[in-house]
Amino acid sequence: MIDVTKIDQIETMILDIPTIRGHVLSMATMRSQAAVLVRIKFSDGSEGIGEGTTIGGLAYGPESPESIQSAIDTYIAPALADWDADDVNGALQLLDKLVRGNRIAKTAVEIALWDGLGKRLGVPVSQLFGGAVTTKMPVAWTLASGNSETDIAEALEMIETRRHNIFKLKIGKRAVRDDVAHVARIKEAVGDAASIRVDVNTAWSLQDARWGLKGLQEVGCELVEQPVPARYLDAMAELTSSYEIAVMADEALNGPEDALAVATHRAADVFAVKIAQSGGLKRASEVISVGQAAGLGLYAGTMLETGLSTAAALQLFSTVETLHWGTELFGPLLLTDEILAEPIVYRDFCVEVPQGNGIGVTLDPDKIEFYRRGGSRILKSAAGE
């Protein structure tokens, strides 16, 4: 008789980590990030770790850190008690039947399941998705202070230190004319040394977007992300067909069904694929497949996760042959502190895929305790001073 490894326990906690500066979105300004961490303990003594993180509380989407934790503790964990730990696809199918929506909560648990399976098999998670075809990927940095001179200084420093030469500007809070002028100043300052893109986070009307895309195209911006609300696919289709500047879908993509709708409407040139927004690594891989089949460009997006979920995303995206627009998996760099024992490596304008079994990273237990909501707030290294 073969012993089956079962799920023994699913634990959750919320970490609150400050950001290095205010991160200005069209709907909120972030000064800290709250990440829900998941630890799954299996009957053979192995463990898996995962993360579910959103942006800007409930201003961005329907899930919050508190709702993610509650969904896992109240509904997901009891449903997976004693489940076959190696049957990840079966677990995902069960959760889709029992839990509607809650994609980020499902993502956190799914990452931990893949991590545990990879560790038990002695392989990286990328191997479970067919194998990595690259060890590093171009990585963008978001300029989101809202101040042109501050953003220019930040961009020039990133280019000089060879950390980033792709920049995405958060716009949409000001008048369209002012936003275009802001982008023009930054593009003029960096010249051909960097690629400039923008993210409107759904803030524009169709009329604003027509003027905005025309102006952005004229000043040398290469791509505009989600200029209008996600539900307006016809408007996205008009913008996509009317301008040479690339239009990228982001908030419009919540899993493979949405990806198919966007592709069918020809409502984007590019998919911003986020593992959390897609509902996990498996569903994100399906979004990627839809984009590939439709001949669309691909971009690895972020929900500004810690190094944990960033590592999981890197495992998946390392299996993709062509990421036409690179990645923005810079989340750990926006935080004031690192929660991994060995940080993810950023250098030469790229992010490197962690090497090792599972998602390839381990947590720093002292940092986890320090940033855990309700935790000690005393680092052991500092306690003895």
**Which is it for the CA torsion 332, 337, 343, 349, positive or negative?**
positive
- Assigned token pair, 225: 């992300």
- Contacting residues for 106 by C-beta, under 8 A, at least 6 apart: 76, 92, 95, 96, 99, 279, 280
| 170 flagged as catalytic | yes
Q: Which of 316, 208, 318, 201 is nearest to 249 (CA)?
A: 201
Tokens read off for 283: 């569903």
- Which ranges of the chain would DSSP assign to H, the alpha helix? 65-71, 77-79, 88-98, 103-121, 125-128, 148-160, 176-190, 206-218, 233-242, 256-264, 275-278, 281-293, 307-317, 331-334, 365-371, 380-383
Cα–Cα distance for residue pair 152/176, rounded to 1 Å: 20
Residue 241: CB atoms within 10 A of its CB come to 11
| Closest among 243, 253, 361, 248 to 307, alpha carbons compared | 361
The HSE-up count of residue 70 (CA atoms within 13 Å, CB side) is 5
The CA distances from residue 10 to 40, 47, 77, 140, 275, in Å, are 5, 10, 6, 34, 20
Please give the Cα distance from 243 to 133 (Å, whole number): 33
Distance from C-alpha of 346 to C-alpha of 342, rounded to nearest angstrom: 12
173 given a catalytic annotation: no
Q: Which of 170, 187, 274, 367 is labelled catalytic? A: 170
Torsion, Cα 158 327 276 169, to 10 degrees, reads: 50
368's tokens? 């986890």
- The pair phi, psi for residue 82, each rounded to 5°, is 65, 15
Closest CA to 92 of 281, 353, 225, 239: 281
C-alpha distances in Å from residue 253, one per residue of 103, 308, 342: 12, 22, 32
**Active-site entry in 154, 238, 251, 328:** 328
Give the residue numbers marked as catalytic.
Answer: 170, 328
